[in-house]
Amino acid sequence: MANGMLMIENDKSKMVRSQYYNSLFNKETGYFARWGRTKDENPLYAPMPEILDLEISAGKCMGQCPECYKCNGAVEKTHNMTFDEFRDIFHKVAKTVIVTTFKSGKEPIKAEMNLSWRGCYTKADIIARVKQIYIEPEDILETKVYNEGLLQQIAFGICDIGTNPDFFGMLEYCREFDVIPNYTCHGLDMNEEYAELSAKYCGAVAVSVYNKEKSYRAVELLYNAGVRQINFHTIAHDKSYNKILSIIDDLTTDERIKGKVKAVVLLKYKPKGNGVGKFNHLTDEQYRHIIAYAEEKGVNIGFDSCSAHAYLRVIANDKDYEQKAMCAEPCESSCFSSYINHKGEFFACSFCENEGMWQNGISVLDAQDFRTDVWESEKTQKFREILLKNERKCPMYKLD
């Protein structure tokens, strides 16, 4: 029991029960459901983030994507988050604790996992360290290591797959401490080794389609290695409209990707970074046609939370609107998800970074307690209040 929440967790699932927030997460399938006081009521926000978008590298990137809102490219200076910085952030957001009980019945001892536990990279390491710390190790009944927070998944933000030398070590670390890692890549540098490591540690991998030959080859490598949750990501705007339709066609004919990609995920264009002033949003007619064409071809379409309101608008007259609407969740920034950049700074989301009220982030590395100092900080609460009053429509950009 933590902060009025009851958690029940095993290797396959994690359940959270409290008065105003309840959730169920299946670690094997990725199925997730949340509800409030009743199954018919949605909570306004979670007591801690469920999902973390974590940028671990920024700067030079062979992708040089024209829409890159991070301005990564050919000549930018690279900066990587260190493994120790990652560990510090991970355990603060996950709120990892170590609880030791004793045969003699004396009061259990609880400690928070942080960088003071240097050299402990597995739960076995921690249990061994506990036995070294206590004067009477024979009195130890059990040592449990678990996350009191709600963190279920980390979506890693990278440049090239090989940019941060600790990337796959970070993925492995997530798994060791019961959090599912995912990442998005351009696929240009995908190889058999990267694919095999991705299959070993990741719940899903998304490939941004900028170079069809290499992106499709990346899917083939990932699938052959055993990855079964692969999505295509593409920024949806006026100049990518025809490309999106061609990708849908390819998913029905190209053997490299046919039957291997779960969905084409349409990401809302935001005027930030490399793409400022170069693109326009899809018209409702274009958006509606993409959805209809994908349904005709038997291809699944997904979208980010930034697109939810536009999606609901264009399917408003569909006979199965209610069923489809259940899958559309609008902006969850500061409500259920959080973003931390490569410097360890928290922003409501990655598109808020250095914009408007988020000219400056909140240092997670300097925070003593993530929930108090970051998630429930004055700045985060103010943003959350604006977002909720605006029906969870983006307060930073005009997206519709």
DSSP class of 50: S
Encode pLDDT of 380-398 as tens digits.
999 999 999 999 999 998 8
Residue 60 is predicted with a pLDDT of 93
Calculate the alpha carbon distances from 398 to 149, 249, 275 in Å.
33, 31, 15
Q: Which residue from 309, 307, 284, 268 is spatially nearest to 391, judged by alpha carbons?
A: 309
**Run of H or E including 393:** none
DSSP class of 302: E
Encode pLDDT of 261-290 as tens digits.
999 999 999 999 988 889 999 999 999 999
Residue 1 is predicted with a pLDDT of 43
**Which regions of the chain are under pLDDT 50?**
1
Residue 3 is predicted with a pLDDT of 55
